[in-house]
Amino acid sequence: MLKAVIFDMDGVLVDSEPLHYEVNRITMQEELGKDLDYQYYKQYIGSTVMAMWNKIIKDFSMEGYTAKELFDLSEEVKERLVDEKGYPEVPGVVAFVKSISSKYKLAVASSSALVNIEKNVAKLGIAEDFDALVTGLSVKNPKPAPDIFLKAAEQLGVKPEECIVVEDSCNGTRAAKAAGMACIGFINQGSGEQDLSAADYLFEAFDNIDDGFMEMVYSHHFAEP
């Protein structure tokens, strides 16, 4: 029985991925004199920032820096850009969250820092609709490992097989599958060309789905009538 819906945040609740790429591109260019190509960068969508910077240090031979130092530099750039542009809501997601919040337990499971998750759900006016907020920085392994989704289920007090995940990234859909959960993949053009083949179903707009759709996907995944 479907009891909980777990949402990714970046690219699902807020259309933040284009801004995140710009933040990291500017950080690399202005602070380090390095070019960050989008085709290289997109492999990190859905993963944690610290995992990304640790890999970049190796790939770009930047052993003079720590991941924490690069993270701090990027946070300064992000603060500047967010003040200028802000994070736009993914169209239709607020109405969708509110339409299902009385029927299911809801969680956000995002690779972003907890303070950013809290700020975004508050700004969207849906903080009270969520029963748990989980950051990937609080688990050992980032997506595509299942850790964050398993922790979200634990905090919600449900079993993994009682959950469905809403994701927009390859790493996220793979993590949901590894957690033993049903998953729907949101095709967000701002998230780039993502391989969402691990998801059970794909959709392009929150206006086109409802609780009946969620029940259908869940039943299909677990071969229930």
Write down the residue that tokens 């969708």 correspond to: 96
Active-site pick, 8, 15, 147, 168: 8
Q: What is the dihedral of CA 114, 8, 25, 34, to 10 degrees?
A: 80
Chain centroid, CA 180 distance in Å? 18
Please check whether residue 170 is in contact with residue 194, taking contact to mean a CB–CB distance below 8 angstroms.
yes
Is position 211 annotated as part of the catalytic site? no
Distance (Å, whole) CA 94 – CA 89: 8
Residue 107: strand pairing partners? 6, 132
Distance (Å, whole) CA 145 – CA 63: 26
Cα–Cα–Cα angle for 119, 122, 128, rounded to 5 degrees:
135
Active-site residues, by number, are 8
